[in-house]
């Protein structure tokens, strides 16, 4: 997957964390050309850690979509912080496990449309 393709996948997957109707068919259409194992990993280890808070907040601020540049910057910052610290990697591993459990329905919904 090229960096540009990865960027497009990240942006598409972030749409699953908006506080509005989620168009899983549209997300599935955008990720369909790629290896689904890689896409699922991007969902839970890159996108969900920086977007899940929107669904956990009593009054979510993001209704229609995340701002692309901010989203991508936050993902890169999180990945860089994880790479720099062994402790951070261990904590993130637990967080990703929790995200897969708590938001497993997102991947199931996307797969229904692939």
Mean pLDDT computed over 92-99: 94
pLDDT tier for residue 31 given thresholds of 50, 70 and 90: very high
Residue-wise pLDDT tens digits, 59-72: 666 767 788 999 99
Alpha helices (H) in the chain, listed in sequence order: 3-14, 24-31, 36-42, 48-51, 53-56, 68-84, 86-102, 104-113
User: Is residue 7 packed enough to be buried (19+ CB in 10 Å), middle (13-18) or exposed (0-12)?
Assistant: middle
Question: Distance between CA 113 and CA 94 in Å, rounded?
Answer: 29
Question: Distance between CA 104 and CA 97 in Å, rounded?
Answer: 10
Domain coordinates in residue numbering, the chain: 3-113
What pLDDT is attached to residue 97? 96
Mean pLDDT computed over 86-102: 93
């Amino acid at each position: 997957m090229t960096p540009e393709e990865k960027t497009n996948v990240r942006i598409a997957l972030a749409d699953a964390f908006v506080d509005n109707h989620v168009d899983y068919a549209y997300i599935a259409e955008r990720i369909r050309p790629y290896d689904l194992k890689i896409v699922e990993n991007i969902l839970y280890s890159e996108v969900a850690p920086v977007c899940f808070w929107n669904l956990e907040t009593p009054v979510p601020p993001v209704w229609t979509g995340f701002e692309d540049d901010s989203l991508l910057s936050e993902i890169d910052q999180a990945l860089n912080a994880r790479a720099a610290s062994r402790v951070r990697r261990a904590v993130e591993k637990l967080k990703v496990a929790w995200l897969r459990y708590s938001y497993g329905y997102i991947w199931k919904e996307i797969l229904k449309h692939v």
